[in-house]
Amino acid sequence: MRILFFIIIFSYSLTANSQGTYESNFNKFRQYYTLLRYHYLDSVDFNKIIESAIVKSLENLDPHSNYLPAKESKSEGERLKGNFEGIGISYNVYKDTLTVMEVIAGGPSEKIGLLPGDKLIKINDTLFAGKSNYKADDYVSRLKGPKGTKVKLTMLRDQKQYEFVITRDVIPLYSVDISTMIDEQVGYIKLNKFAATTPQEIKQALIELNQLGMKHLILDLQNNGGGMLQAAVVLCDEFLESNSLVVYTKGLHYPAQNFETSSSGLFRKGKLIVLVNENSASASEITAGAIQDWDRGLIVGRRTFGKGLVQRPFKLEDNSEIRLTTAEYFTPTGRFIQKPYNKGDRSEYKTELLNRAQAGLLTKKDTIRPPDSLMKLTLKSKRKVYGGGGITPDIYVPIDTSLNSEYFGKLRRQGILDKFYNEFVDQNKSKIKSLYPEYTDFVKNFVVNDSVLYPLKIMADSAKIKQDSVYNANATKVMNTVIKANIGRQIYGIKCFYRVVLEIDDVFQRAMAVVRENFAKYKVRND
């Protein structure tokens, strides 16, 4: 308990002034605890009191210092470590039945023969199908478990039940969703987070793409919220010259520290384009900022989130965790890309992206220009770049609102699409697999036509959801592409999903146009 007190007071002491010393603050809180224990009229849940005090005190600091209860701390640790112990599937629960969405390559479920689309009936002879009282944690607690332990699953496939005895193992959590060749020269890598395994995953992807003849690369960091700073530094080894500064950090209690590239990279020549948007944050911004500052490649998309603060995890005695901001980070040119915030008021910070959208800064040219005092010059070509609120892309790509469909939105929000995907795949999976043995065949040849959409129309009519009064060919194309991508995901996995949705990703399409242009006019190097 004393450790918890210490952390609370330590959080306050970061901003302490003449109002009190550390000792007097500590004694004051201890007196408060004693009053509650011996004088309050009722029993007190002290765990709840302590957690509330920690959370509230952190809210008086910056917007990224936060507290994680033990369960959340474990889950986040697994995400950043890059693995967990379990059976190796991702799944969706529909109509109170768990359906396998993806079987993780190399995991025990793949080895034993589980397939996407399999439906869970029993876990260790306990019926789970059709049980509405089960929550997500009920599945997780029974499917996850220590390496070497066994679990028996009864699954439904093609209207037949099969039993699988699966030995749990260490399951990788991949940060690379897909790496593929778009054409004979352009490679593409989609990265979803920065974890301990990210550098090795990227290295392996680059080796394979180089073997396939890659000359240019599109690195997709859209919606990548970041992760481990060190993973971003090692990732930049692949693109920047040795001993190039990637980022530096400094804080009140931590001396300034430079992070530089070291080893010889696998893609230091060739056109490099990094895709970002308003949800690209933290380590994504470190990567994009370093590549931009060194004039190594082009940043395409929309202004990034704007997180320039470094958090250090502190474990507490009950395995909960405080992630305390200990330093600020700066790009190689000295840009501080943290967007403004008010201490003690997180509400405005949380709505900043919404405010940006309402101001039209995501759907038209981002007109926010930081003051000249935040301007820096890139290190090779001396181009102007700015700090003070995210990484501003070299080439801006707005969101095209004309592609939105209210009809499609209602289908999604009311769960009609989810129902359609599950029922369509149930009825057509075998046929689709026979027609398109590989996901690349499906991507190239499967067409969402009236026959495919007919069951969806019946469901929409039943829910009294009418199609838009104004026919929009582009919006219809987007809807059909998303439907195709989700059908493909349930049958072939996440790689199929991304390969399909790239067809309607304006940021990616703009990057493909740019990669075919003369890079010299952008004053970035690619030799």
Please name the residue that has the structure tokens 């929550």: 135
Give me the amino acid identity at 92: N
Which residues are within 8 A (CB) of 410 and not within 5 positions of it... i.e. 6 or more apart?
A: 416, 465
- Selecting among 11, 57, 280, 282, the annotated active-site residue is 282
Whole-number Cα distances in Å, 345 to 60, 63, 64, 202? 7, 8, 12, 38
- The β-bridge partners of 66 are 323
- Cα dihedral 112, 115, 117, 119, rounded to 10, equals 0
The one catalytic residue among 293, 295, 366, 394: 293
Which of 203, 307, 339, 484 is catalytic? The answer is 307
Distance (Å) of CA 145 to CA 30, 127, 148: 40, 19, 9
User: For the stretch 504-521, what's the b/e string if a residue is b when 16 or more beta carbons lie within 10 angstroms of its beta carbon?
Assistant: bbebbebbbebbeeebee
> In the beta sheet, which residues pair with residue 190?
178, 220
Query: Which residues, listed in sequence order, are joined to residue 84 by a DSSP beta bridge?
Result: 171
Tokens describing residue 360? 């039209």
Sign of CA pseudo-dihedral 428, 430, 432, 438: positive
Q: What angle do CA 527, 331, 81 make, to 5 degrees?
A: 95
Q: Is 282 a catalytic residue?
A: yes
Output phi, psi for 256, to 5 deg: -60, 140
138 has catalytic annotation = no
Q: Which of 13, 62, 14 shows the shortest CA–CA distance to 338? A: 62
Measuring CA to CA, which residue among 290, 210, 190, 260 is closest to residue 498? 190
Q: Name the residue among 116, 174, 178, 103 with its Cα closest to residue 502.
A: 178
Q: Using only C-alpha atoms, what is the Rg of the chain?
A: 26
Tell me whether strands 83-86 and 169-172 are parallel, antiparallel or unpaired.
Answer: antiparallel
Q: How buried is residue 259: exposed, middle or buried, by Cβ count under 10 Å (0-12/13-18/19+)? A: buried
Task: Please check whether residue 256 is in contact with residue 263, taking contact to mean a CB–CB distance below 8 angstroms.
Answer: no
Active site residue 193: no
Structure token digits, residue 487: 């059908």
End-to-end CA distance of the chain: 58
Q: If 0-12 CB within 10 Å is exposed, 13-18 middle and 19+ buried, where does residue 57 land?
A: buried
> Where in the sequence numbering do the catalytic residues fall?
282, 293, 307
